Structure 1
């Protein structure tokens, strides 16, 4: 059996559809090293098999060290395209922009001004209109899939302490359509209450996320682990979005957790 550095145990959580696996690591550094290595292997395999790799990544503060570590991987970066899972509807140079964070973290391997490298495709493609933005981002995805929904080689996902994932939040009306939508990209309205999201957003739909060969969530802190344990038992998207996602996912979904 191959030993994984920093892996202390593997939890099996009970969920509505079946068991959910959570790999427990002793530190953010060891968890990040494992995830970055897993991403690099999967992308490298995709390039070897068909000459290119497509993947999606989440924003927020938790995955940033993973992106920073990933740049050390010796990959054919110019054969890789990275799309966003979701994004705040703000300019891409705004402090709240995940595009900005991802660009800064991955800068050494990104294509820029004629320099070959990985292409980072932002969901923000029209800051003037949220619906036009979603439509343009969807067309970019369809172009990547030759007119169909692209199959991603990897999906790096996150979960909030309110059990949200992507830009799919508890109590939001989008939960009524996001699982069955024929669209790949959807606009998410700003909440009319004090709940999130407090900014309008753009998100991949659940069918778009499901078109991933591997889906891995990275979460940190005891609060999020406790939330996950409770949410796994529910399939109600309006109260437990992550539980609803796990219940409908056509493929196994794994989690990596560290305190």
Structure 2
């Protein structure tokens, strides 16, 4: 991948205003994709703020039958473990809206990382650019399960990768690669809380963090609440 990340920083006074803006952006992206291509491919992020966004989304009016839902990463845990992103997203949104079950693509991480990587890569083999990728950022600058000091894979041949010895438990995970996450028409980072300020400062200063490896041609939108901002 040769793109340099172009950042559009958007700072919101409160997390509530950030969530409202994110919901609006998601619904607009869905309407646009369905009108232009007949389907909306969205990648969901884990985390508290995304969960609250999903809870807000379930009351929205959208053409849910044309949504196709993907995950940026997943923990290698049993399929019903509450720590899985898929379980969180199901409880917050997917069990409340009529998206066809066959259009929700979970990572089979309960079968182990190698099997899940092969299965998810196969599912993605005929999928073009994602319409919208939602991502968060950890206090160390990681995104999805792409951590500092680990492989991020910016090579197009690796859409999904196994992550071993993660600095955050559980140690085994599966993540979409930086290259596959960058293959998107729109990317929105959701970053909230004072604990993220150091990483935001490093990001703004151009330091080599995993978040900087996500570089779609259209650039990235970074939604910050005031607590996370450094300006």
Structure 1 residue ranges, 4+ long, deviating more than 4 angstroms after superposition: none
**Deviations, residues 29-54 of structure 1 (Å, cap 9, x unaligned):** 21111101101011111111121111
Count residues in correspondence: 222
**Deviations, residues 49-85 of structure 1 (Å, cap 9, x unaligned):** 1211111111122200111111222111011111001
Tell me which residue corresponds to 2:172: 200
- Give 1 or 2 for the bigger CA radius of gyration: 1
Offset of residue 253 of structure 1:
0.9
Structure 1 residues 53 and 18, CA gap change in structure 2 (3 angstroms) = closer
Tell me which residue corresponds to 1:230: 202
Given the alignment of the two structures, is residue 152 of structure 1 paired with residue 119 of structure 2, yes or no? Answer: no
Decide which moves more: 47-56 or 125-134: 125-134
Tell me which residue corresponds to 1:212: 184
Tell me which residue corresponds to 1:255: 222
- TM-score (normalised: structure 1): 0.79
Q: Indicate the SS of the match to 1:131.
A: helix
Structural mapping, 1:136-147, within 5 Å? 136-143=119-126, 145=127
Structure 2 contact 137–143 (Cα < 8 Å) conserved: yes
Unaligned 5+ segments in structure 1 are: 1-16
Structure 1 contact 37–70 (Cα < 8 Å) conserved: no
Unaligned 5+ segments in structure 2 are: none
The two structures, once aligned, show a CA RMSD in angstroms of: 2.1
Q: Determine which structure has greater relative contact order: mean sequence separation of CA pairs < 8 Å that are 6+ residues apart, divided by chain length.
A: 2
Tell me which residue corresponds to 1:55: 42
Structural mapping, 1:42-121, within 5 Å? 42-106=29-93, 107-111=95-99, 116=100, 119-121=103-105
Tell me which residue corresponds to 2:19: 32
Whole-Å separation in 2 of the counterparts to 1:43 and 1:32: 17
